[in-house]
Structure 1
């Protein structure tokens, strides 16, 4: 047990070192693009107000009636904030595939050396899974830190006359993206992260199917992925399908989702264990 844990930590550290360049790049892009948004968006708003007042000899109240009050929520609605999140998600999804396939690149495939290590092959599997989740939560933490930095910047640029008295946390709660992305609502946060974990487990299973059965494995993998995600997402679509938003209480929906996530996750792990141990040979 102790030896397996030590090997898991070594493999995870090895994977983290390989991820580090991409992760630091995504973190840098997030902070840089966000910073531009924190400065450009409120300055653009103030520029419109000042131009309106100058051209129309208007009073501040007339400008306020025309453009309305500005809050940090308006900044969070722009691509300067949403864009880096989309880039981060896309980057890590790409890496979730690349983290497996790069092992087979080249003539002397590194995958065979890894699979021949005198440890359980699932140790290799879990090291890759832990690495991806480390990357996900690192980007979430980076975005949270960025927002705490951006709030006083925006507040300093927008004159108090034109500023809406909305705090940082209230601004984040008004944006549905951050309700799911950050632990503002623990229930939603756990469900979304559970679905994220299932997505990775299913993706790993699909990749191992392709590695095990080639073209046939691709078809099997696509079918498995569609079935798995349909099972997990079906309860969330029930209110829309039945046109009844009160068919399930939030607590009931959460319990159903947790059960389904657990089942799909367990099946994916068992399938992956079978494939990596029995079907992928060296």
Structure 2
């Protein structure tokens, strides 16, 4: 069984819940856009009847609404949940294909790679769909307000840049985008490592989740403590090198831990 076949299988299994998530996300955001435009138009007309409105609407006003922020939060939570579920679902039945595949230790890291690539494809796909949806929402936003002769301020790029939820997802430069993707991979690797450590220990102790959390907590705490100790003793360029080495070290250790528990400790 090669990586591409496993990747295709994982993507096929994820397609239905993934499409449901995207559909709910887009529908919820456009529903909020419709309500926002209706509410602001009525308010603006009321103010215009009694005087001259002294404010200008921007796309950032829409993005800053609680429903939009919640929709982004739900999408992020869904990706975190799926990072757990993509592993835990394979331990629910003893007769599944994945359980038979896990009986072959030499193939287990291919399973690991397929799940990691699947998660990144889903996250990048979600970013792409959200970007297209945002562009369409901005077109609808500006077109409607123009038709109602309501002044619109700012640009699409400015609204994205100053939004606390979207600016990390869509940074201004390609280099920053790559850095954010590395951080996302690191988060997924920590989740994968937690699941594999917990699943390796659960048959021997009921405290397996706590042990896994403590192990990974120590892995995070030691470099962070060293970073704060070195922060005041290094120049900016040196600090960037230390941060880069720290991220590479975290990724290497989490992959090593995952490999250790997946190929040596995990019994099926």
Conservation of the 8 A alpha-carbon contact between 2:145 and 2:152:
no
Give the whole-Å Cα distance in 1 for the aligned partners of 2:244 and 2:185: 12
Mark the runs of 5 or more structure 1 residues left unpaired by the alignment.
none
253 and 209 in structure 1: CA distance in 2 versus 1, 3 angstrom threshold:
same
Give the whole-Å Cα distance in 2 for the aligned partners of 1:188 and 1:263: 20
Q: How far is the alpha carbon of 1:140 from its aligned partner?
A: 0.7
Give the whole-Å Cα distance in 2 for the aligned partners of 1:175 and 1:35: 18
Matching of residue 131 in structure 1 with residue 118 in structure 2: yes
Q: What is the aligned partner in structure 2 of residue 14 from structure 1?
A: 9
Conservation of the 8 A alpha-carbon contact between 1:37 and 1:81:
yes
Conservation of the 8 A alpha-carbon contact between 2:161 and 2:171:
no
Q: Equivalences for 1:160-171 in 2 at 5 Å?
A: 162-171=150-159
Q: What is the aligned partner in structure 1 of residue 88 from structure 2?
A: 101
Q: How far is the alpha carbon of 1:248 from its aligned partner?
A: 6.3
Deviating more after overlay: 252-261 vs 131-140: 252-261
Q: How far is the alpha carbon of 1:182 from its aligned partner?
A: 1.2
Q: How far is the alpha carbon of 1:79 from its aligned partner?
A: 2.9
Q: What is the aligned partner in structure 1 of residue 138 from structure 2?
A: 151
Q: Secondary structure at the match of 1:177?
A: coil
19 and 29 in structure 1: CA distance in 2 versus 1, 3 angstrom threshold:
same
- Cα shift readout 1:231-261 (whole Å, capped 9, x = no counterpart): 676699x5xxx9x9xx864x65544332211
Deviating more after overlay: 82-91 vs 179-188: 179-188
Q: How far is the alpha carbon of 1:208 from its aligned partner?
A: 1.0
Q: What is the aligned partner in structure 1 of residue 215 from structure 2?
A: 224
Q: Equivalences for 1:210-221 in 2 at 5 Å?
A: 210-214=198-202, 215-221=206-212
Give the whole-Å Cα distance in 2 for the aligned partners of 1:153 and 1:233: 45
Of residues 14, 23, 26, the one that matches 1:28 is: 23
Q: TM-score, normalised by structure 2?
A: 0.86
Q: What is the aligned partner in structure 1 of residue 129 from structure 2?
A: 142
Give the whole-Å Cα distance in 2 for the aligned partners of 1:185 and 1:234: 30
Conservation of the 8 A alpha-carbon contact between 1:203 and 1:225:
no
123 and 74 in structure 1: CA distance in 2 versus 1, 3 angstrom threshold:
same
Q: What is the aligned partner in structure 1 of residue 249 from structure 2?
A: 263
Q: Secondary structure at the match of 1:158?
A: helix
Give the whole-Å Cα distance in 2 for the aligned partners of 1:186 and 1:231: 30
Bigger helix share: 1
Mark the runs of 5 or more structure 2 residues left unpaired by the alignment.
none
Q: Equivalences for 1:217-256 in 2 at 5 Å?
A: 217-230=208-221, 249=236, 254-256=240-242
Of residues 41, 45, 48, the one that matches 2:40 is: 45
Give the whole-Å Cα distance in 2 for the aligned partners of 1:23 and 1:256: 37
- What is the number of equivalent residue pairs in this alignment? 262
- Cα shift readout 1:128-176 (whole Å, capped 9, x = no counterpart): 1111111111111111000111111111121475423312112111213
* Structure with higher RCO (Cα < 8 A, 6+ apart): 2
Q: Secondary structure at the match of 1:116?
A: coil
Q: Secondary structure at the match of 1:281?
A: coil
Conservation of the 8 A alpha-carbon contact between 1:206 and 1:225:
yes
Q: How far is the alpha carbon of 1:124 from its aligned partner?
A: 0.3
Conservation of the 8 A alpha-carbon contact between 1:206 and 1:222:
yes
Q: Secondary structure at the match of 2:181?
A: helix
Q: TM-score, normalised by structure 1?
A: 0.82
What's the RMSD between the two structures over aligned residues? 2.7
Q: What is the aligned partner in structure 2 of residue 199 from structure 1?
A: 187
